[in-house]
Amino acid sequence: MNPPFYYQIAVDTPAHSAMGGLLSSVLTWSSPSPLSLGAVVRVPLGKRQVLGLVWAECASPHDEKSLAAIKPVAAVLDIGAPLGTAWRALIEFTATYYQRSLGEVAMAALPGQFRILVQKLQDEASQAKIAKRLHGQKAGKPGAQIAATEQGRDHSPRELTPQQQAALTQFAQETRPCLLWGATGSGKTEVYLQAARRVLDNDPLAQVLILVPEINLTPQLEARVQERLGQYACVTLHSGLTPVRRMHNWLASHRGEARIVLGTRMAVFASMPHLRLVVVDEEHDPSFKSQDGARHSARDLAVYRAQREGAPILLGSATPSLETWAACERGRYARLTMPDRMGGAALTALRLVDMRLAPKRSLLSPQLMAAMQERLAAGQQCMVFINRRGYAPILHCGACGWKSACPHCSAYRVFHKRDRSLRCHHCGWAEAVPRACPDCGNLDIAPLGRGTERVEEDLGALLPPGTRVLRIDADSTRAVGSLQQQLAQMHAGEVDVLVGTQMVTKGHDFRRIGLVAALNVDAALFSSDVRAQERLFALLLQAAGRAGRDAAASSAKSPELWVQTEMPEHPLFQALRQHDFERFATQQLTEREQAGLPPFGFHALLRSEAQSQEVAQAYLNAAKEAAADCEASDQVTIYPAVPHSMARVANVERAQMLLESASRPALQHFLTQWQPALHRIKVKGLIRWAVDVDPQSI
C-alpha cells in the first residue's frame, strides 16, 4: 500500500479557533489518493463529520503520536473543478483583513447546502446520485433560472447619450478602479450594461459580477439584464433564494456557465473562474457592510478582488461614500462624471419647511399638504418617507408618565394600530395593547410620535376623499411577492401617494412622481455618529432622485423634494439645495481630516456581549490591558469601553471599545498580534466577543 497524502483542510469549528489566528481552523487529514487544492470534502472532527475545504498539501508528521491522531478524509463532494487560486486568495485576504479564521470565512462563502449534501455521501451509489443532482441542472433547462437565448429578440445596444458614451470610453481606457459619479436618473445602469456587453461579446468565457445593495432591487435589474443581455446566461445570488436554488446558481457560476452573476453582498464570494468585470451599484450603500460573521464590506472586497484578478471595476453612485470620493481625490481611483439626467429631466428642487413655525405637534405642514394636492390634481404621484414603521414609536400615559418600554431591550415597543399590538423592533417581543395604563390604570393612553401607519392615516384624512394611499414597509411586505405586487401598483398608476420607510427611496424607477417628502430627518443632524450626515445626504439625494424621472411628465412643473426640519439653515441643506455633492463631500472630508476620522484614520471596534454591562465591559478592559504587550500598540489609540448605543437587546447587554490609528497597516498588525490574547481572556458570564474592522457606525 502506498503511503497516504497529507492535507491541511479548512473547517469551521469554534473550538479549534480558540488559539486565534488565521490558520487556527486549518487542521491536518490524510487521504489515500491525491486531492486537489480547493476540493470540497467531508472530514471527521471529534464525534462529528464536517464540511471542509482542502487548503494546502503538507508533509507527513514525524512523530508516531501525531501520525496516529490523523484521520482520513471521509468523502469528496464533486463540484466539478476545485475552487481556484483566485477564490482562495479572496478568502484568505478576507480572513486576514477582518481578523477571522480561514475556516469560518471559507465555510460561510460556500453554499450552505453543501453541509447537508456532504453528510449524504456514503457509498458509491449515493455519490453518483448527488453528483447527478449537482450537475443535472444545466444552463437553459427549466428551473435552472438561467436566462436562455431568446430567438428573434432584439438585444442590440441602446443609443447612449454623449455623457454615457464619454464615461464608457474613459472606463475602457482606465486601469484604476473607476467611480461612476452620475446624477440620479443619469443612466448609470445603461453604462454598466454596455460595459458588460463589451466584455461578454469579446471573450466567450468572460464572466461579469454585478453587486446591488438591496435584494428588492435585484428583480428590477435582472429584468433589464434579461432585456438587454438576454443572450448571456445570468444567475442571481441573494438571501431570498431557497438554499437549493442558491447552490445551483452558485455552481452555474463556478462552472462558468453563468456569464453574469447579479447579487447582494454575498455574491462577492461567488466562484467565478473567468471574472472580467465587476460592477458595484450604489456603492455608498451601508448594506454592503455585513453586520455579522466576518463583518466584511462587500464593496471593499470587490475592489480587492477585481484588482487581484485584473478585472476592471466600476463603482456607481450619485452620492459616493466619502472613502471612495477621497480615493478619487488622491488619484487612486478614476472619476467618471455624468451630471445630467436622461432626456434633460430637471433636477429636483429642494423645498424646506421650517417646522419651528408650524403648529405644535403637527407632522404634515399645511404648505406640504397644499403642494401635494396640487401635484395630485395635475395627475402626478407623490412619495412620503419616514424612517419609522408602525403607528407610533411610543405609547404613553399622560397621567403617570408610563411609556411602552421593552422589558428585554433598551428600546420602546412600537404601537402597531392594525393589529393593536406593541412590538419591539429589536427583539420581536410583542403583546396586545393594554386597555389601560399598566402602572396607574388610566384609560387614556396615547401614541407619541408617528410611524408609517399613522402618516398613512393622516394623509387619508388630510387629502381629498378618493386619494389612493399605499404604504410600503417591512410590515406591508411580509408576504412573499407582496412587495413586487405593491411596486407594480405604483408603476401602473393605481396609487396616488406612496408612504414608506427608506426602502422606497432606493433605486426604484418610478416614472410619475412629482413630489417627494422626507419627514423626521433631524435626528441625523445631531447624531454623534461619524457617518450620520453622510448617510442623510445620500438618503435625501436618492429620495430626490425618485422624482421627475420622466422629463415629459414633469415638464409642467419641476420635481420637488420637501424636507420638514427645525434646522433649515444647516449646511447640509445648503449643499443639497444646489445638488452639490462635491461641496458637501469637501466640507465633510475637511472636518474628518482635522479629527483624524475615516478615511484619514482607521477604526476597529471590539464588541462584547454578556448578561450584564459590567461583565461585557470587564472583557473589554482586560483586552485593553493585554494590548500593551502587542507590537504597534503605540500607534493605536484605544478608547474606554462604553455601552453600545442600543445597550440591551433581548436581555443581552452589549458594550464596545473603539480603536483608532492613523495607519491601516499598523492597525492591522496590531490586531493580528492582539488576537491570541482576545481568545485567551476568560471572563465569567461573557457570551461572545468580536472584532469589527472598518465599522460602519460607532
Residue ranges binding Zn ion (CB under 5 A) = 397, 399-400, 402, 406, 408-409, 424, 426-427, 429, 437, 439-440, 442
What are the beta bridge partners of residue 395?
447
Query: At residue 585, what is the residue type?
Result: A
- Smallest gap from Cβ 442 to Zn ion, in A, equals 4
Distance CA 536, CA 545 (A): 14
HEC states along 240-259? CCCHHHHHHHHHHHHCCCCC
- Smallest gap from Cβ 520 to Zn ion, in A, equals 22
Strand order in the sheet with 334-338: 234-237, 260-263, 207-211, 275-280, 313-317, 178-182, 334-338
Distance CA 113, CA 73 (A): 19
- Smallest gap from Cβ 405 to Zn ion, in A, equals 9
Provide φ and ψ at 268, rounded to 5°: -65, -20
Within 8 A by CB and 6+ apart from 625, the residues are: none
C-alpha distance from residue 183 to each of 102, 254, 317, 426 (Å)? 40, 35, 8, 35
Angle between helix axes 322-329 and 581-595 (nearest 10 degrees) is 90
What are the beta bridge partners of residue 317?
181
DSSP per-residue codes, 519-586? ES-THHHH---TTHHHHHHHHHHHHHHTSS-STTTTSSS--EEEEEES-TT-HHHHHHHTT-HHHHHH
DSSP per-residue codes, 69-88? HPPBP-EEE--SSPPPHHHH
Cα within 13 Å of Cα(493), Cβ side: 7
Contacts 24+ apart (CB under 8 A), 590-593: 592/322, 592/530
C-alpha distance from residue 359 to each of 73, 364, 446, 463 (Å)? 73, 10, 19, 18
HEC states along 350-382? EEEEECCCCCCCCCCCHHHHHHHHHHHHCCCEE
